[in-house]
């Protein structure tokens, strides 16, 4: 037996079966780590490429497609009350009430139109909010969503405290 073989036999006697098991497990862990690291590095490279593409797309100026609607098609010459009644009816249809609100009218320069700014606080769940907004913006073409604030006390709460800021464009009173 050569010297190296004899040293391996002596080492095997000293560390025993548990030592061999520990060495085998250590080697398996190292091989597993090296294999997984390559997979994760490949995924990270792919995600970094996607992030750079998204940043490049976000940096490009967005071209908004303007859809011009003639003023004659807007229900702008109607009074504000029917539009507010429609908003309240839609809210009730989606399971919540618009109990209070703030309304501020201001003229739009160089036109016969008025902008009514509406601030509507209420409590609802997300599906009801989404359905209400979708229906309101579809039914009232002279309504625009300016701002939406959503707050909830706890992560598990389904009820949201919502504040909607809307603009309603109507004809100025003669």
The CATH number of residue 88's host domain is: 3.30.70.60
The answer to whether residue 141 scores a pLDDT higher than 60 is yes
Residue 99 and residue 37 share a domain: no
Residue 53 and residue 3 share a domain: yes
**Vertex 61 angle, CA 60 and 62, to 5°:** 110
Number of H helices, E strands in the chain: 3, 4
This prediction's pTM: 0.54
CA 3 to chain centre: 69
pLDDT of res. 174: 52
Can you tell me the distance from the alpha carbon of 110 to that of 5, in angstroms, rounded to the nearest whole number?
100
Residue 144 and residue 110 share a domain: yes
Residue 37 and residue 108 share a domain: no
CB atoms within 10 A of CB 77: 13
DSSP label at 65? -
pLDDT 10s digits, 61-114: 655 444 444 444 544 445 788 888 899 999 999 999 988 888 888 888 888 888
Region 6-17 average pLDDT? 84
Domain that holds residue 97: 71-171
Indicate the average pLDDT of the chain. Answer: 83
The answer to whether residue 126 scores a pLDDT higher than 60 is yes
The answer to whether residue 32 scores a pLDDT higher than 70 is yes
């Amino acid at each position: 037996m050569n010297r190296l073989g004899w040293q391996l036999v002596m080492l095997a006697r000293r560390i025993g079966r548990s030592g061999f098991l520990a060495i085998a497990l250590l080697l398996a862990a190292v091989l597993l780590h090296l294999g997984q690291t390559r997979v994760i590095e490949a995924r990270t490279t792919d995600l970094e490429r996607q992030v750079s593409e998204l940043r490049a797309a976000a940096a490009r100026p967005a071209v908004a497609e303007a859809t011009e609607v003639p003023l004659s098609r807007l229900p702008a010459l109607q009074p504000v009350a029917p539009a507010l009644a429609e908003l309240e009816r839609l809210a009730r249809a989606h399971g919540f009430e618009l109990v209070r609100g703030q309304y501020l009218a201001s003229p739009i320069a160089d036109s016969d139109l008025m902008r009514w700014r509406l601030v509507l606080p209420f409590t609802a769940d997300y599906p009801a909010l989404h359905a209400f907004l979708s229906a309101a913006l579809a039914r009232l073409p002279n309504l625009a969503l300016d701002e939406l604030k959503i707050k909830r006390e706890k992560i598990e709460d389904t009820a949201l405290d919502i504040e909607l800021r809307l603009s309603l464009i109507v004809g100025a009173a003669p």
